[in-house]
Structure 1
Amino acid sequence: MEALLELGPLLRTWRGRLQPGDVGSPFGSASTRTAGLRREEVAWLAGVSPDYVKRLEQGRAHPTASVVHALARALRLSEAETATALRLAGHADDLRALMPRRITPSVRRLLDRFPDTPVAVFDAAWTRLDQNPLWTALTGDPRGRGDREDNLVWRGFLGEPGRVRHPQPDQYRASIVADLHRVHARYPADPDLVSLVTTLRRRSEDFARLWGASDLGEHGNERKTIDHPELGAIELDCDIVTVQGAGLRLIIFTAEPGTAAADQLRLLSVIGSERVSARGGSTTGSPPTS
């Protein structure tokens, strides 16, 4: 409990040094009433409730390692600050056993500097950590949700299919399970990863069957079709870039110049992610109500 009381003031200090414009706040001009980020903004970015952030800052809640990582991403913490937060939350028995989930400054710059290209950042287990506005507009997936639907493996077996279509669904599912199997072997003591795999094995017979094959592999590039509610089917190349040393993956959608898909992406960029996503039924740009 004493360590949690130390964590609270640090969280308040860390949110106080950021401005809403630094993180793409959806709260508009109301965010300028106080210096730094409000609890509501931190909650939206981390996928938790404002009341939970309040209790954390008061030392009255014990966050899991995944919540600490989500707060670290929301507050743009350094590696040393993230390690401190994990230690104070009681998750520092062996930090090397935890799968990396921190977005490095260089990867953050990539998100900021490719406004015309849909890009999202995933951890090694295929949980989406962040994305740029064009990714949101293309896929319709809201930012800051913070639940299992952010994990591609979960969505492939138990979740909503979303807008992305895979040309060979069975091959896709087999490859992404083999990839997760490899990551699980690398981080066998990560509690969130263990929970994900255990739940998938219990609830999905197909996942359990593929997992039982004990294949270890790596999911690679594949051409995708995105069924956009306003622009129709968009055929795009999907490239996966691994950030060595950070344990992160970037998924990048691109179109060959001069094609209909390139025109569709350009139109999506011009219209703007907020407008298109709102008309397409996404919750993008609206903070969660929880």
Structure 2
Amino acid sequence: MARQELARFLRDRREDLRPTDVGLHTGPRRRTPGLRREEVAQLANMSVDYYARLEQARGPRPSPRILDAITAALRLTPPERTHLFRLAGANPTPPAGPVRRVRPYVADLLRRLPETGAIVTDATYDVIAWNPLAEALLGNLREEPNLARRRFLRLGPVESSSTEEFARIAVARLRSAADRYPRDEPLARLLAELRAGSEEFSEVWDINPVHAPGHRTKTVTHPEIGRLRLNCDVLAVPDDDQQVVFITADPGTPSARALRHLTRAS
């Protein structure tokens, strides 16, 4: 019975995905509604025969490594990953690392917000998607995408207020990420770099702050347009352990006019 349930789960999830959801480009002639088995096998770096046998309920019990490969190929959420492991008769292991891709509907959201800066951060505070206004406000995000590194190593725009609050928020989130992803090497390297380069980071880390992100108001000094009073609001994307941050200014204020100017220039 467990094999049949696993097979059904894999088929249903595969058929729910579109090729564009996983970065695949297809031609006009395509009769399969979702992904093909060979496409999932390619994404999971396994043979088509092995994956097909899993979907036909006649394959061997997959190992945690195989299950993680299928998780990545089928873009499973954390609850779906746990369900997959249980269907396979395996104890869920800690995820290999945080999700570092953005779902298409989240990326599309960033493009629909006039005069609002918007970014998406993963569990390690890397900015993995942004709109033009956010980049105009924050500087070159391709060159330095990590907000914790910018904050503690002084690599980004200067904030005149709320810096201590953000320090606690950042450390609390990174501590949680370290607990959830103990095998993630990029995260381990980031934490080591922050400890070595910032006495403040080490001090806040030792305090072990508990802080949930929400509405914040901060003052930022922009190199071209000077001081800005900005609002930051966070929308959680729990399926991928990500956050969307919206950056706005109160209507009618000089900061709002400055954002409008940056929007037109970006």
**Post-superposition shift, 1:206?**
2.4
Question: What is the aligned partner in structure 2 of residue 280 from structure 1?
Answer: none
SS of 1:245's partner is helix
Equivalent of 2:193 in 189, 199, 203? 199
1:46 counterpart residue number = none
Residue 202 to residue 265, structure 1, CA distance change in 2 (3 Å): closer
Aligned to 2:153: 158
Q: CA deviation at 1:182?
A: 1.5
Q: Which residue of 2 aligns with 1:128?
A: 127
Residue 86 (structure 1) shift? 7.0
Find the counterpart in structure 2 of residue 103 from structure 1. Answer: 102
Please say if 1:144 is aligned against 2:142.
yes
What CA distance in whole angstroms lies between the structure 2 residues aligned with 1:16 and 1:87?
A: 15
Which one of the candidate residues 234, 239, 249 is aligned to 2:228? 234
Contact kept, 8 Å, 1:100 with 1:247, in 2: the verdict is yes
CA distance in 1, matches of 2:24, 2:104: 19
Q: Which has the larger radius of gyration?
A: 2
Q: How does 1:135-284 map to 2 (within 5 A)?
A: 135-139=134-138, 141-145=139-143, 149-160=144-155, 162-270=156-264, 272-273=265-266
Measure how far apart 1:264 and its partner are. Answer: 1.5
Count of equivalent residues: 191
Deviations 1:122-160 (A, max 9, x none): 101211112111112222x22433xxx321111222241
SS at match of 1:135: helix
Structure 1 244/142 Cα, relative in aligned 2: closer, same or farther at 3 Å? Answer: same
Q: Give the Cα separation in 2 of the matches to 1:125 and 1:83.
A: 29
1:73 — aligned with what?
A: none
Structure 1 consecutive aligned stretches of length 4 or more whose deviation exceeds 6 Å: 80-83
Structure 2 counterpart SS, 1:97: coil
1:238 is paired with a residue whose SS is strand
Classify the secondary structure of the residue corresponding to 1:100: coil
Structure 1 pair 15–105 and aligned structure 2 pair: CA distance change class (3 A): closer
Q: CA deviation at 1:87?
A: 4.7
Contact 1:166 1:172 in 2 (8 A): no
Question: Take 1:159 and 1:83, find their aligned partners in 2: how far apart are those partners?
Answer: 44
Shift in alpha-carbon separation, 1:235–1:217, aligned structure 2, 3 A: closer
Mapped partners of 2:217, 2:253: distance in 1: 15
Q: Please tell me whether the aligned partners of residues 164 and 224 of structure 1 are also in contact (alpha carbons under 8 angstroms).
A: no
CA shift in 2, pair 1:240/1:97, >3 Å: same
Q: Cα gap change, 1:213/1:234 in structure 2, threshold over 3 Å: closer, same or farther?
A: closer
Say if 2:162 and 2:218, in contact at 8 Å, map to a contact too. Answer: no
CA distance in 2, matches of 1:229, 1:250: 24
- Alignment RMSD (CA, Å): 3.1
CA distance in 2, matches of 1:101, 1:240: 18
Give the TM-score normalised by the residue count of structure 2. Answer: 0.62
Deviations 1:196-224 (A, max 9, x none): 11222233332222222333433443212
Q: How does 1:49-64 map to 2 (within 5 A)?
A: none
Deviations 1:38-68 (A, max 9, x none): xxxxxxxxxxxxxxxxxxxxxxxxxxxxxxx
Q: Could you tell me how far 1:234 is from its partner in structure 2?
A: 1.5
Structure 2: distance between partners of 1:243 and 1:15: 20
Listed as ranges, the matches of 1:37-116 within 5 Å are 87=45, 94=68, 96-116=95-115
